[in-house]
Chains A and B, each alone.
Chain A
Amino acid sequence: MTKRGRSIRVPVLARVEGEGALEIDIAGNRITRLDLRIYEPPRLFEKFLEGRSYLEVPDMVARICGICPVAYQMSAVAAIEDAFGFTPGPELRAWRRLLYCGEWIESHALHIHLLAAPDVLGFESVLDMAQAWPEVVERGLRLQALGNRILAVLGGRSVHPVSVRPGGFSRLPGPEALDPLQEACRAALETARDLVAWTASLDLPRETQDFPCVALRHPHEYPMNEGRIAATTGLEIPVSEFEAHFEEYQVPHSTALHSRLAGRSYLVGPLARLNLNRDRLPPPVAEALAATGIAFPSHNSHFSIVARAVEIFLALSEAVRILDDPPPAAPALARPLQPRAAEGFGCTEAPRGILYHRYRFDADGRVQAARITPPTSQNQARMEEDARLALERFGLDRPDEELRRYAERVIRNYDPCISCATHFLRLKVNRR
């Protein structure tokens, strides 16, 4: 949205390009209070969905996030299919996994190269970095374009893929589209492998904190669309029990609800996924990770950039594997489902972490109630805790601008679904 120094007020969930707000109270060298308003959960969408047919849900929720529409569609169809007793067959699973690979590659490539890299390489903005390191930016854009191409070939267009339905796809591409895509993915594998090494070679702060990690866990694959919810605390539960273990609570400074697990803030996203699923990496990806020399599991959020690079390599490898021998399309095409009065649960791994959907339907398949818990919401408490600890370690006797930039960098490790802008934080410091 183009602005001229003013902002248009829109429902709070709308402005992915909006600002976050950080307010801290400092007494001496301690932070006595830290309030972060970084993201508003899609509560209004939950209301909009009420009364709608299950057929409309995937397209509607895809509009919640301009950046990760596929994730919203995947979690939505998982919950709908759970409610109506439909189990995707292996062909549909493979096609959906391929689609998700596209979004992971696109999202991670953009974050690594355009958002995180300027921080790490010491540039004020991606613009400054592009002058000095155009090849870094170009690599990011090439990988991002490849991810988008997967989405466009499978989904119909690269934004709001239009072919995802409960029960399958409305259409799927044939070999004339898939063969060139396979070649393009295969050709990019080398770049993806090098990217892992490149991220590990960066001068990343060594800062470890203590927190549980949460991700999906699957019997044999690196999780995207399926799995039980697992935590480094040892918890492993079916998706239907998410709300019984993960508690949402109100904080006074924000309309966003924070999440906690057994009273603690927790991490979702690439670092959490990798910590819990290293043994599910295909051998070439596992080798690339081992070659970095970084010990995993890691509780250093600055290594999230490495985890994202590993996941790009993983997603690209999976895409090549699936495209090498694409499953037949016919079994993956959507057939009408039989709606029933029921509740359904879906949880899939968005690029930023687990995305949980729950719907209750009436006998006609109309939504009576919806609950959507995005990854960035779940990371909010962890981001606050991290920012507080990290800023204290950084030292508070510095100009506010320096504190703001450092706080942004710390928060940016979480790839919060707030904006594609490099400067997104307004800082207010109260010193005593």
Chain B
Amino acid sequence: MHLLRHPLPAAEGEPAVTTIRIIGLGSPFGADRIGLLAARRLAREVRLPPGVEVIERDRPGLRLLEDFTGARAVLLLDALAGGIPGRVREVERSALLARAAPLSSHALGVAEALALAEALGRLPEAVGLLGVETGPAPGPEDVDPVWVQALCLRVPVALERLVPDRRVAGCGGRIRSRR
């Protein structure tokens, strides 16, 4: 994982104290584990710059709400059903929220958590999801380690897109308004 060493250089001249939270999502079964494994790998093998933290969330549902709180930016890592097996895709904030509403009988914890966080003003401006497509259902039985690697390698780029300006409100940087 040497490619990920120091992937996120701190903004020049500014202390990087924003809390950027990377959340690996999934369940302990089959390809559903991708997000969890990627988060685990990042936590173990990468020296993350200050202000960036990685957590795993196993089937969190609405419990995700708590994890959005206090974060300047949130990057979700997850498996995506359908698509092309192994392809890494970024899903940006408005697309994530669009999927959440209208809530249907297929409403899922993650989608609801995002919508609820938004309604409560707890959802950071900078939210995105980085996912690996798993192809048509039923999806692979197990996780290809190459997929986990591919996901991890895309994290720095995704973060840079999420938080291009890593200055902090009150530390001489540009203040971002939170709706």
Contacts and interface: CB of A to CB of B under 8 A. Distances in A.
Instruction: Tell me whether A and B are bound partners.
Output: yes
Interface of A: 1-11, 14-17, 19, 63, 66-67, 110, 114, 124-127, 130-131, 134, 137-138, 141, 144-145, 148, 159-160, 419-426
Contacts of B78: 1-2
A8 B32 contact: yes
B17 interface: no
Q: Which 8 A-B residue pairs are closest in the complex by CB-CB distance?
A: A420-B61, A66-B59, A9-B138, A14-B29, A10-B29, A8-B139, A420-B109, A420-B62
B58 A127 contact: no
A422 B59 CA distance: 15
Contacts of B112: 125-127, 420-422
B62 A126 contact: yes
Contacts of B26: 1
Contact of B58 (A15, A126, A130, A159): A159
A216 B57 CA distance: 31
Nearest to B62: A420
Interface string B26-38: 1111111000000
Of A8, A10, A67, the most chain B CB neighbours within 10 A belong to A8
Nearest to B134: A8
Contacts of B30: 8, 10-11
Contacts of A114: 62, 116
Interface of B: 25-32, 56-63, 65-66, 69, 76, 78-83, 91, 99, 101, 103-112, 115-116, 119-120, 129, 131, 134, 136-139
B74 to A, nearest CB: 14
Given A2-B129, A63-B58, A159-B58, A422 B103 contact: yes
B137 A7 contact: yes
Given A14-B32, A110-B63, A424-B105, 19 more contacts: A1-B81, A2-B81, A2-B129, A3-B80, A4-B82, A6-B81, A6-B136, A9-B138, A10-B27, A10-B29, A11-B29, A17-B109, A63-B28, A66-B27, A67-B61, A110-B62, A137-B120, A159-B60, A422-B107
A182 to B, nearest CB: 21
A341 to B, nearest CB: 30
18 contacts: A1-B79, A2-B91, A2-B99, A3-B80, A3-B106, A4-B82, A6-B81, A66-B61, A114-B62, A125-B107, A141-B69, A148-B66, A419-B109, A420-B112, A421-B62, A421-B108, A423-B106, A426-B105
B111 A127 contact: no
Nearest to A66: B59
B85 to A, nearest CB: 12
Contact of A420 (B63, B80, B138): B63
A16 B59 contact: yes
Nearest to B111: A2
Most buried by B among A11, A14, A127: A127
